[in-house]
């Protein structure tokens, strides 16, 4: 067996840090995280109430490596930082603590300055003065970070109350010979006591009103999403040129940036790559004072921003353009010592002789990242079986399942909980199209659910829950769809295995087309281990849990290749899902929307050379979604055409290669049913449908005529658009084809005569004259290519006309 040990080290940070802990970090693979010194021994020494809160409220004794690396630097040096450490390694506290320490220092500095200017003694920051901004990409993460700050301020209040109580006791017990409390300490208590709660700016929580009077009052620390922060700042700070002085001063009074010092971007790579976020970030940057502002950037995939050049502000030059120069990098790496041939568990005695190798990885060591290869038609089946085997065999209880679109989450949420084999699971769903209060309650429900293997819980979600969320005790993360942005992969998987806890990740990859993703991730230092296709439970029992390739036994019995044969259980599951869908037409609508949006999402993969839309088995995908019929979309027409051609090639004995093997086995059958009688459960919806049906019936001929006219107009338009050179080219090719056909007829006639005259067997396909010889049947095979060209031309002109999209565009704008 391969053995692993863990070592985390800091890089590019000077030697300031916590004193090393006397306890050795645990070295067992995937055990508790290695800590890097105790909070008590941290230099500089933390402010008493901050230290007390870390100990009593959070219950933490030791620092994590990223905290030990960054906190001393961030408190004592006025620098910009770029911080990368794996998911769940404690990055949040690594900035929260320095922000608070610097706030305390600023408070004291301002108090001194203002006392010097004749201000009220002991008053530092004013109520409208903002000291730090924390920007995060999602409302859920903002709420979480806000709660951490809030815990510290609660800790402060408790600390102050305790101090006061102690002082009162001291006073009561005082005698003349006991010295007074030092003046400085009393002042500090009064000052610190006055911090207002941090301000949270997220959707559904704060108003977007243009009026400053409707805005919540500022706080020294503001946390929020880019859009909300940008609009809050601009509304609070800007006035139109026609505004009166009093309006201006009202606005200035609402918020002041005089002491502003820190801008923190958590999940910074996401904030800097999404065009929407970036637009808001530009507003924020232009509003904040540039000189005195320090920028701290955090993410588990932060270093990627330095190399990528295609999106947003990424790349070093992009960061420089945004004023993010001279960033001090703090990178905490995870190293795995691998003994044996590889780290995928294939070690043997011989392999053990191979010297151990140290490999870096960008995921926690306690995270076991795996992939399952299956057919597109088997994906939902594998999801269902994974949920069951992980609970039954591995005792796991808390799951997150990621889909690529909101519509897919919405649909599968309605389906999975109705499947009898998952009836004991508690499902919840989270995506960006849900109203904020529902998002909040869903997350709270999932977090507090007392999950056990007998009553497991599953959160179905989009990437809205991929980054930063610290959801306790997540055992397994399943990625039904690989993320469009490869950086998100480790963030998703990192919802499990946090802070040294054991966790597992499973990504479902389509056999025959998506295997390249494994190598792709390995190059990004995210090693994946293969997990066998999950067979039926009885089989798993027989195999001691080994599972097997889909339908291997059946295929072997039939003497066929198992490679692309679909597990019969996938057909049974499709039927079961269809039967659920048949209960309400609304579900069929949701299924179609989910399917269409998922296909469109597929076309948006950044790693498009791995996730090729052309390779997407839409029939199989339709089965996995339990569709009753396939929606009309160009991708399906294209796939149908390719399947047809592959079958033709097979009939002609020309089929070859994996591609054809897959296409030939791909099949689709619409459910035989009467759609006119398929009703909505909602009475109003159904009444509306019936009315529309009646109207359509009465206008049937009119509609058909309109359609015919529209199709004709489209054809004419397409014809007009075709360039003269293309038309000529087409005519030339037509002529060539005609010539070939004539030659073929000619040859056939001659061949028939020869067979009759010489009384011989006709020429077979094996002894055909070659195309180069120009007169045999092979010379006519080029027709296939011509037809294909023509098909492509027609498709292209049609695509140009329709913008390549027959489906409503809102179906796709659905990714998180
Ligand atoms: N010093 C510590 N000792 C023990 N637990 C800690 C310590 N610091 C943080 N934690 C806990 O570890 C968990 C993960 O921390 P955090 O959410 O900050 O990770 P992260 O690195 O920001 O992860 P992500 O990249 O996913 O956002 C949290 O539950 C947090 O309370």
Pocket perturbation via mutation, ligand 1, pick of 34, 65, 88, 151 by most ligand atoms within 8 A of CB: 88
Protein residue closest via CA to atom 11 of ligand 1: 90
- Ligand 1 atom at shortest distance from the alpha carbon of 299: 25
768 vs 89, which has greater pLDDT? 89
Nearest atom within ligand 1 for CA of residue 499: 12
Give the residue with greater pLDDT, 592 vs 334: 592
Query: Closest ligand 1 atom, CA of 470?
Result: 17
pLDDT at 123: 66
Q: Tell how far the Cα of 267 is from the centroid of ligand 1, in angstroms.
A: 14
Q: Mean per-residue pLDDT for 589-598? A: 97
In this predicted structure, which of 314-323, 744-753, 775-784 has the lowest mean pLDDT? 775-784
- Band the pLDDT of 763: cuts 50, 70, 90: low
Digit-coded pLDDT (tens) for 265-312: 999 999 988 888 989 999 999 899 988 899 999 999 988 767 665 555
- Note the helical H segments in 117-138: none
Nearest to 603 by CA among 788, 404, 796, 411: 404
Strand order in 529-530's β-sheet?
A: 426-430, 457-461, 398-402, 476-479, 503-510, 367-374, 529-530
CA 392 to ligand 1 centroid distance, Å: 29
pLDDT at 779 over 70: no
Nearest CA to ligand 1 atom 6: 90
Is the separation of the CB atoms in 327 and 81 below 8 Å? yes
Distance CA 223, CA 231 (A): 13
Region 653-665: mean pLDDT is 76
Residue with CA at minimum distance from ligand 1 atom 14: 88
Q: Tell the residue nearest (CA) to atom 7 of ligand 1.
A: 90
DSSP state of 483: -
Ligand 1 centre and the CA of 97: distance in Å?
Answer: 13
**Average pLDDT for 125-152:** 94
Pairing, β 529-530 against β 367-374:
parallel
* Residue ID of nearest Cα to ligand 1 atom 16: 90
- If you average pLDDT over residues 680-696, what whole number do you get? 94
Global model pTM greater than 0.90: no
**Atom of ligand 1 lying closest to residue 64 CA:** 1
**Cα 94 to ligand 1 centre (Å):** 9
* CB within 8 Å of 624: residues ≥ 6 apart: 376, 377, 378, 379, 380, 381, 570, 574
Query: Picking from 48-52, 463-467, 528-532, 720-724, which range would have the lowest pLDDT averaged per residue?
Result: 720-724
In this structure, the chain runs to a length of 816
pLDDT at 75: 96
Mean pLDDT, range 339-353, rounded to an integer: 48
**How far is the CA of 762 from the CAs of 422, 654, 680, 748, 757, in angstroms?**
62, 20, 62, 10, 12
Among 499, 501, 503, residue to substitute to test ligand 1 (most atoms within 8 Å of Cβ): 499
Q: Give pLDDT, residue 645.
A: 87
* CA of residue 337 to ligand 1 center, whole Å: 24
Question: H helices of 290-403, where?
Answer: 304-307, 316-321, 349-352, 379-392
Residue 758's DSSP bridge partners are: none
Q: Longest Cα pair distance anywhere in the chain, in angstroms?
A: 139
Ligand 1 centroid to 500 CA: how many Å?
10
Most confident of 84-88, 183-187, 644-648: 84-88
**What mean pLDDT, rounded, does the chain reach?**
80
Distance 498 CA to ligand 1 centre (A): 7
- 230 CA distance to ligand 1 middle (Å): 28
Q: Is the predicted pLDDT of residue 602 greater than 80, yes or no? A: yes
Q: Give residue for tokens 């330095």.
A: 306
Residue to probe by mutation, ligand 1, list 65, 84, 93, most atoms within 8 Å of CB:
93
Higher pLDDT, 30 or 305: 305
Instruction: Quote the pLDDT of residue 5.
Output: 36
Q: Residue 756's pLDDT band (boundaries 50, 70, 90)? A: confident
Mean local confidence (pLDDT), 226-255: 66
CA of 67 to the centre of ligand 1 (A): 10
The CA 574 to ligand 1 mean position distance, Å, reads 41
Average pLDDT estimate for 579-593: 97
Q: Can you give the pLDDT at residue 18?
A: 35
Mutate to test the pocket of ligand 1, among 83, 332, 470 (most ligand atoms within 8 A of CB): 470
pLDDT, tens only, 50-86: 999 999 999 999 999 999 999 999 999 999 999 999 9
Beta strands in 432-581 (DSSP E): 457-461, 476-479, 503-510, 529-530
Percent of the chain clearing pLDDT 70 (strictly above): 74
Q: Name the β-bridge partners of 478.
A: 401, 506
Q: pLDDT-based confidence at 599, cuts 50/70/90?
A: very high
Output 273 or 526, whichever has higher pLDDT.
526
The answer to ipTM > 0.95 is yes
Q: Minimal CA–CA distance to 93: which of 120, 57, 126?
A: 57
> Does residue 596 register a pLDDT over 70?
yes
Predicted confidence at residue 578, as pLDDT, reads 97
Q: What gap in Å lies between CA 415 and CA 418, rounded to an integer? A: 5
With cut-offs at 50, 70 and 90, classify the pLDDT of residue 210: low
Residues 434, 440, 444, CA angle at the centre, nearest 5°?
A: 130
Pocket lined around ligand 1, Cβ cut-off 6 Å:
60, 62-64, 67, 85, 87-93, 300, 468, 470, 494, 498-499
Write down the pLDDT at residue 206.
Answer: 52
336 CA distance to ligand 1 middle (Å): 21
């Amino acid at each position: 067996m391969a053995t692993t040990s863990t070592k985390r080290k800091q890089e590019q940070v000077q030697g300031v840090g916590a004193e090393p802990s006397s306890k050795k970090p645990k070295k067992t693979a995937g055990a508790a995280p290695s800590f890097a010194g105790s909070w008590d021994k941290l230099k500089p020494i933390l402010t008493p109430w901050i230290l007390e809160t870390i100990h009593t409220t959070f219950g933490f004794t030791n620092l994590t490596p990223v905290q030990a690396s960054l906190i001393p630097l961030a408190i004592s040096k006025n620098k910009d930082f770029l911080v990368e450490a794996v998911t769940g390694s404690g990055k949040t506290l690594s900035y929260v603590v320095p922000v608070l320490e610097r706030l305390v220092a600023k408070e004291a500095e301002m108090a001194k300055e203002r006392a010097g200017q004749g201000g009220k003694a002991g008053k530092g920051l004013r109520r409208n003065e903002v000291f730090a901004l924390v920007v995060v990409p999602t409302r859920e993460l903002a709420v979480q970070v806000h709660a951490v700050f809030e815990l510290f301020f609660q800790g402060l209040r408790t600390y102050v109350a305790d101090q006061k109580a102690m002082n009162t006791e001291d006073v009561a017990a005082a005698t003349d010979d006991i010295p007074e409390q030092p003046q400085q300490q009393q002042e500090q208590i009064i000052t610190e006591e006055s911090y207002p709660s941090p301000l949270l700016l997220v959707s559904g929580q704060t108003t977007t009103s243009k009026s400053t009077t409707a805005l919540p009052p500022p706080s020294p620390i503001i946390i929020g999403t880019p859009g909300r922060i940008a609009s809050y700042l601009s509304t609070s700070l800007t006035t139109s040129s026609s505004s009166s002085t009093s309006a201006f001063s009202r606005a200035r009074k609402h918020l002041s940036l005089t002491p502003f010092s820190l801008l923190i971007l958590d999940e910074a790579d996401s904030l800097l790559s999404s065009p929407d976020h970036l637009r808001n970030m530009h507003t924020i940057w232009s509003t904040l004072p540039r000189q005195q502002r320090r920028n701290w950037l955090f993410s588990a995939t932060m270093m990627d921003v330095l190399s990528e050049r295609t999106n947003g502000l990424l790349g070093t030059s992009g960061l420089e353009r945004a004023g993010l120069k001279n960033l001090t990098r703090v990178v905490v790496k995870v190293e795995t010592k691998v003994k044996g041939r590889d780290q995928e568990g294939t070690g043997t005695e011989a392999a053990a002789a191979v010297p151990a190798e140290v490999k870096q990885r960008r995921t926690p060591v306690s995270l076991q990242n795996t992939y399952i290869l299956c057919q597109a038609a088997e994906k939902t089946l594998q999801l269902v079986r994974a949920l069951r085997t992980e609970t039954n065999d591995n005792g796991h209880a808390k799951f997150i399942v990621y889909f690529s679109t909101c519509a897919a989450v919405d649909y599968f949420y309605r389906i999975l909980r109705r499947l009898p084999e998952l009836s004991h699971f508690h499902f919840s769903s989270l995506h960006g199209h849900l109203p904020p209060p529902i998002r909040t309650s869903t997350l709270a429900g999932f977090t507090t659910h007392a999950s056990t293997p007998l009553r497991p819980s599953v959160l179905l979600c989009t990437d809205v829950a991929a980054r930063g969320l610290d959801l306790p005790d997540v055992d397994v993360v399943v990625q039904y769809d690989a993320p469009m942005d490869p950086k998100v992969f480790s963030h998703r998987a990192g919802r499990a295995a946090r802070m040294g806890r054991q966790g597992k990740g499973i990504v479902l990859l389509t056999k025959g087309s998506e295997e390249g993703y494994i190598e792709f991730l390995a190059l990004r230092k995210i090693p994946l281990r293969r997990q066998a296709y999950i067979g039926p439970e009885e089989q798993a029992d027989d195999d001691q849990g080994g599972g097997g390739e889909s339908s291997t036994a059946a295929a072997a019995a039939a003497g066929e290749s198992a490679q692309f044969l679909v597990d019969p259980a996938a057909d049974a599951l499709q039927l079961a899902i269809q039967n659920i869908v048949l209960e309400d037409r609304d579900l069929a609508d949701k299924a179609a929307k989910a399917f269409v949006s998922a296909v469109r999402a597929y076309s948006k993969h950044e790693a498009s050379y791995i996730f090729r839309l052309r390779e997407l088995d839409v029939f199989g995908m339709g089965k996995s979604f339990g569709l009753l019929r396939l929606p009309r979309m160009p991708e399906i027409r294209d796939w149908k055409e390719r399947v047809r051609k592959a079958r033709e090639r097979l009939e002609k004995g020309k089929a070859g290669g994996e591609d054809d093997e897959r296409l030939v086995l791909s099949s689709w059958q619409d459910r035989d049913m009467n759609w006119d009688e398929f009703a909505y459960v909602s009475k109003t919806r159904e009444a509306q449908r019936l009315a529309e049906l009646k109207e359509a019936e009465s206008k049937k001929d009119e509609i058909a005529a309109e359609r015919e006219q529209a199709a004709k107009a489209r054809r004419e338009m397409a014809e007009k658009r075709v360039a003269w050179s293309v038309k000529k080219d087409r005519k030339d090719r037509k002529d060539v084809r005609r010539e070939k056909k004539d030659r073929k007829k000619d040859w056939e006639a001659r061949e028939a005569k020869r067979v009759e005259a010489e009384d011989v067997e006709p020429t077979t396909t094996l002894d055909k004259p070659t195309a180069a010889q120009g007169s045999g049947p092979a010379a006519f095979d080029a027709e296939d290519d011509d037809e294909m060209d023509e098909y492509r031309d027609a498709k292209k002109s049609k695509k140009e006309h329709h913008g390549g999209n027959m489906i409503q565009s809102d179906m796709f704008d659905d990714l998180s």
